[in-house]
Amino acid sequence: MIKRSDFPKGFLFGTATAAYQIEGAVAEDGRGPSIWDAFSHTPGKTFNGDTGDVACDHYHRYKEDVQIMREIGFNAYRFSISWPRVMPDGKKINQKGVDFYNRLVDELLENDITPFITLYHWDLPLALDEKGGWLNPDIAMYFRAYATFMFTELGDRVKHWITLNEPWCSAFLGYFTGEHAPGHKNLQEALIAAHNLLRAHGHAVQAFREEVKDGKVGLTNVVMKVEPGDARPESFLTAGLVDKLVNAWFHDPVVFGRYPEEAVKVYRERGLRVLEDDFEIISTPIDFFGVNYYTRTLVVYDPTNPLGFSYVPGDLPKTEMGWEIYPQGLFDMLVYLKERYRLPLYITENGMAGPDKLINGKVEDDYRIEYIEKHLEKVLEAINAGVDVRGYFIWSLMDNFEWAHGYSKRFGIVYVDYSTQKRIWKKSAHWLKEFLKS
């Protein structure tokens, strides 16, 4: 049985959330609409028509939520700032919105919890989307101004920052598959959005170096273990390619100042334009990578698919999201990231959606305890293999708005009864409290 004391001294154990998924209060104290407000209110876009209008009402209940984190024993908390809450039109400052984050940061520090702030977790101000959003190259300068302002506001107390959460999702789910806001379905647009996201990241890092001299800044990416879904040699080659399209596409530019050649070739062969400007800015050195790991993805060679591959379901046990439970993939990817980029790593998300049922006031989520324990074992294995992992954040503190899945998927270690906003510790929260004392 793994113990907290097995981990290096100073290793951070935290939990993670995102503004639009938990805050609610979407029109309170001057907050402006985001693309997710518009998207979730568009019929057919989210499960059951669910929206983030109320979510977990964290905007009003943040003190209670911080107390839960303290009682469980976390020493870190990763959350995101709602850009449209602090700048309703993407530019003009809304002091009441800023004050919420000042209160939240102070509450965390008073409870000895280290704040990790994500500047962008998908809730772009709608006003900027109306100017082209991530398709408009000017977005990088809007983002730089927003980042600079937040650094000056909170950088005296917050020393760990993440520019973007998963630019792959923002670009490819938002502009190619259309599953996420703003819901476009155009691969060329996805490539343009991806490049502007990376440019915005680079500008924010440059601003950070000017504003927060004693801080650390990084980028959090989707980290998928990509494996061949059958034994054909072409599928092994395909897995290597998809790894470049998903993982390397957002890691390589930030460290090497270029896209992975094999992936550029795939796009160019299909007549798509791959942007290559501003790599100098994009590769402004960062201090760490945030790793969001959940599962592996299996791909097979499929010439009928526009990009030459298709996904296949694996046969391992799956979570409520249909994602295979594959802790080995976390070890593999931590070693892969260390070998390729040689940067410190924080696991900024790891967790599972479970069939959580509230029965007689309890949620016996033993499956989540096993999931967390197995993944922590792999983190420890990676550390012992020489990977510089500095923290682990569970997704998520509490059940929340799971994007297009609405409230149908529960990732929390704390159950939320949305009809009463009551927070109820799941068995996994009690297990974590013991683990964090061990």
Ligand X SMILES: CO[C@H](O)c1c[n+]2c([nH]1)[C@H](O)[C@@H](O)[C@H](O)[C@H]2CO
Distance CA 55, CA 47 (A): 14
Binding residues for substrate: 21, 121, 165, 294, 395, 402-403
Binding of ligand X at residue 411 (CB under 6 A)? yes
Residue 166 interacts with ligand X (CB under 6 A): yes or no: yes
Residue with tokens 């059958």: 230
Q: What is the nearest approach in angstroms of ligand X to the Cβ of residue 309?
A: 17
Binding of residue 428 to ligand X (CB under 6 A): no
- Interface residue with ligand X among 288, 395, 407, 415 (CB under 6 A) is 395
Tokens 């984050």 correspond to: 101
Please give the structure tokens belonging to residue 399: 């059940």
Q: Which lies closer to ligand X via its Cβ, residue 222 or residue 286?
A: 222
Query: What x-and-dash track marks residues 322-361 binding ligand X by CB under 6 A?
Result: ---------------------------x------------
264 SS3 class: helix
Amino acid (1-letter code) at residue 379? V
Write down the least CB distance from residue 294 to ligand X, Å: 4
Assign 3-class secondary structure to 65-102: HHHHHHHHCCCEEEEECCHHHHCCCCCCCCHHHHHHHH
Q: Which two tokens stand for residue 143?
A: 């983002």
Smallest gap from Cβ 391 to ligand X, in A, equals 16
Q: Which is nearer to ligand X, 142 or 294 (CB)?
A: 294
294 lies in the binding site for ligand X (CB under 6 A): yes
If the CB atoms of residues 144 and 296 are measured against ligand X, the closer one turns out to be 296
Closest approach of ligand X to the CB of residue 438, in Å: 27
Nearer to ligand X, 57 or 349 (CB): 349
- Active-site amino acid positions: 166, 349
Name the residue nearer to ligand X (CB basis): 80 or 283. Answer: 80
CA distance 263 to 276: 13
Binding to ligand X, residues 2-61 (CB under 6 A): 18, 21
| Least distance between ligand X and beta carbon 11 (Å) | 22
Nearest to 396, CA basis, from 169, 165, 215 = 165
How many binding residues for ligand X (CB under 6 A)?
Answer: 11
Terminal C-alpha separation, the chain: 10
Q: Distance of CA 235 to CAs 9, 205, 221, 303, Å?
A: 42, 37, 24, 11
Question: Taking the alpha carbons of 190, 196, 197, 202 in that order, is the dihedral positive or negative?
Answer: positive
List interacting residues with ligand X (CB under 6 A). 18, 21, 165-166, 222, 292, 294, 349, 395, 402, 411
